[in-house]
Amino acid sequence: MTEMNTSPRGGQGPRADRGPARVNPADKSQIKAHPVSLKRIAALFAPHKGTIAVVVLLITASSVISLAQPFLVRGIIDRALPEKNMPLLAWLAGAMIAVAAATAAIGVVQTWMATAMGQEIMHTLRTRLFIHLQKQSLAFFTRTRSGEVQSRLNNDISGMQTVITSTATGVASNLTTAVGTAVAMVALSPRLSLLSLVIIPPAVWFSRRVALLRRDITTTMQAELATMNTQVEEGLSISGVRLAKTLGTTGRDAALYTASSQRLIGLELRSQLAGRWRMATMGIIFSAIPALIYFAGGLPGSTMSIGTIVAFTALQATIFRPIMGLLSLGVQWVTAMALFSRIFEYLDLVPDITAPVSPVPLDPATVRGEVRFEGVRFAYDGGPDVLRGIDLALPAGSATAVVGPTGSGKSTLGALVPRLHDATAGRITIDGVDVRDIAPGVLSRIVGVVSQETYLVHASIRDNLLLAAPDAGDAELWRALGAARIADLVAGLPDGLDTLVGARGHRFSGGEQQRLAIARTILRNPKVLILDEATSALDNTTEAQVQAALDQLAVGRTTLTIAHRLSTVDDADQLAVLAGGELVEVGPPAVLRDAGGAYASLLAAGEELEPAT
């Protein structure tokens, strides 16, 4: 899966009232790279066949009914008013009101049904895509920008609303209106209809030219807006503001944002002024149309009534918009297919890590927690091996520490147990069951992970803890906080458990975030615990507090600790030393220290092992 740039479309689909527009080359490229099956699109609409049929009938009925207005006007002008026929006048005037009311009512019902159908389809796509993306491995999110994922979920699916509720219904409405209006014009006056055939083409041409000019400028404006959005996201986030203040780049950031905003001024002016002389020419043409019709009606030998001329003029003004909408159909179609292509492209991604079809039944409450690595090999995306020939046993309830220099594969080894990655060869078992044969929900209850990069959602402390145990009561939450050595701090907060942690937990220090994460893991009560560089970024005092919490958490569990400081592994039951992706030593820390091997060499060098990347 190659990384793709987020479209600046911003979720806005085609609009017929802008006139025909140029096909976006990016849309063509997207469709070519990932063709869209019409059968697959039709499957989305299949559950709504009844709604579609009713909407089409309503559109047709509205278009046909609205065509009665010019004929009613002709009747009023040619008969009711000259003849002073009040009953006829009342009937025709009432009919005009009834036609207006009927088309308005039909429009409301049509909009409601089309919007409801569109929202249902969007809901189906949105939830399917979200759930499918959750199944992707960490490798997918590593190689794909988060903005790209958000664009597919938000902008592209929102763009489908326009396709479903506006473009599709607009085509039906424009087609029926254009055909019906043309038929009505011919019925009123074949001669004037021929005159319209001469006038409409240049009007359409001028309108298209203006639309093309504005489309180019609008594309540039959208790109500039995307740049500004990126500046806001990067410059006004907590991390961005912290970086700007510490590096002293606030002035530079403000200057960049100001420059982008200044460019928007010029682009907006160009957009408003684009094609003004053409628009003026079009205005003259449309002003001349009624004059030409009136002139033709007044020629010697003309038998047209005044009512016919007025009615025809109204129809002439009506037919231009649906014709322009139909001319935009090609662009609308390509845009719609590009949206479907982008959504289906992600739905077609095959997860690197899949749930077992027939998972082995395993009760987390009775799991002993014996973990074994058997001939394990691992490589990222077909690259060189990061781990090779790993054979390692972690007895139930024991503590194993893994040490080794940067890049030796320590963190990768720990990530294989909860299936954040799958072994390229060999297997990892828990109580003799391959982790690939355990249902993901069960595996997440058996294996807990506490890493250096703690993540707290932007919610209360209570909500963050309940992620691990949704049914836990306050007493259980406080016990977990106590075991994590942070209960006193939380109790001292004005809102206690209801205190908001802030974006990514920035309301608290790094050590406090770690202890909250440990409390959350305690609530999960896993039998196997992976501690991945959990204290590497902390100062000595905070590390001691967090280490005490980790020691409490590790009691009675099988623990695999990714260690970055050799001084922290003395209490482990066994030590595993990695070098170059291979397991070079295994044994009790004291024995390895006296053996004069790889571990002893690390100690002699006084090396402080940095976190693996």
Name all domains of the chain by residue range, CATH numbers in brackets: 20-347 (1.20.1560.10), 371-605 (3.40.50.300)
**Residue 500 carries which DSSP code?**
B
Cβ-Cβ contacts under 8 Å for 441 (sequence gap 6 or more): none
| Size of the chain in residues | 613
Task: Read off the pLDDT of each residue in 513-518 and give the average, rounded to a whole number.
Answer: 85
What confidence tier does 19 reach under pLDDT thresholds 50, 70, 90? very low
**How far, rounded to the nearest angstrom, does the alpha carbon of residue 82 sit from its chain's CA centroid?**
64
Quick count: other Cβ atoms within 10 Å of Cβ 287? 9
Please tell me the predicted confidence (pLDDT) of residue 63: 82
* Section 224-249 average pLDDT: 71
Given pLDDT bands bounded at 50, 70 and 90, which one contains residue 434?
A: very high
CA distance 82 to 467: 79
Name the residue with higher pLDDT: 277 or 131: 131
Q: Is the pLDDT of residue 425 over 90?
A: yes
The three-class DSSP label of residue 469 is coil
What per-residue confidence (pLDDT) applies to 18? Answer: 40
484: exposed, middle or buried (Cβ count in 10 Å: 0-12, 13-18, 19+): buried
Q: State residue 5's pLDDT score.
A: 39
Place of tokens 């039944």: 361
447 in Cβ contact with 530 (< 8 Å): yes
> Average pLDDT, stretch 557-578?
83
Amino acid letter, 200: I
pLDDT band at 329 (very low <50, low <70, confident <90, very high): low
Alpha helices, DSSP H only, in 362-499? 410-416, 440-446, 461-466, 474-483, 487-491
Give the number of other Cβ atoms within 10 Å of residue 440's Cβ.
Answer: 17
User: 594 and 421 in contact (C-beta within 8 Å)?
Assistant: no
pLDDT tens-digit series, residues 141-170? 777 766 677 777 777 777 776 666 666 677
CA 271/CA 263 separation, integer angstroms: 12
Reply yes or no on whether the pLDDT at 17 is more than 50. Answer: no
pTM above 0.85, yes or no: no
Instruction: Tell me the pLDDT tens digit for each residue of 520-550.
Output: 888 888 899 888 876 655 566 666 776 777 7
Residue whose tokens read 């492209």? 345
Q: What is the pLDDT of residue 226?
A: 67
| C-alpha torsion sign, points 542, 548, 552, 558 | positive
Q: pLDDT tier at 609 (50, 70, 90 boundaries)?
A: very low
Give me the residue label for tokens 């078992």.
429
24-28, 88-92, 399-403, range with the lowest pLDDT: 24-28
Beta-strand relationship, 399-403 and 425-430: unpaired
Q: What is the pLDDT of residue 186?
A: 82
- Whether the predicted pLDDT of 101 surpasses 90: yes
Residue appearing with tokens 């499918």: 132
Q: Which residue has the tokens 């179609």?
A: 333
The confidence score (pLDDT) of residue 243 equals: 66
Q: How high is the pLDDT of residue 249?
A: 72
Q: What is the pLDDT of residue 13?
A: 38
The token pair at 359 is: 């998972």
Question: What distance in Å separates the CA atoms of residue 316 and residue 297, rounded to the nearest whole number?
Answer: 14
pLDDT at 478: 93
Range 480-486 average pLDDT: 85
- For residues 599-605, give the mean pLDDT: 81
Each residue of 446-467: pLDDT tens digit? 998 888 777 788 889 999 899 8
Segment 356-371 mean pLDDT = 90
Q: How confident is the model at residue 2 (pLDDT cuts 50, 70, 90)?
A: very low
pLDDT for 416 equals 93
pLDDT, averaged across the chain: 79
Q: Are 442 and 364 in contact (CB under 8 A)?
A: yes
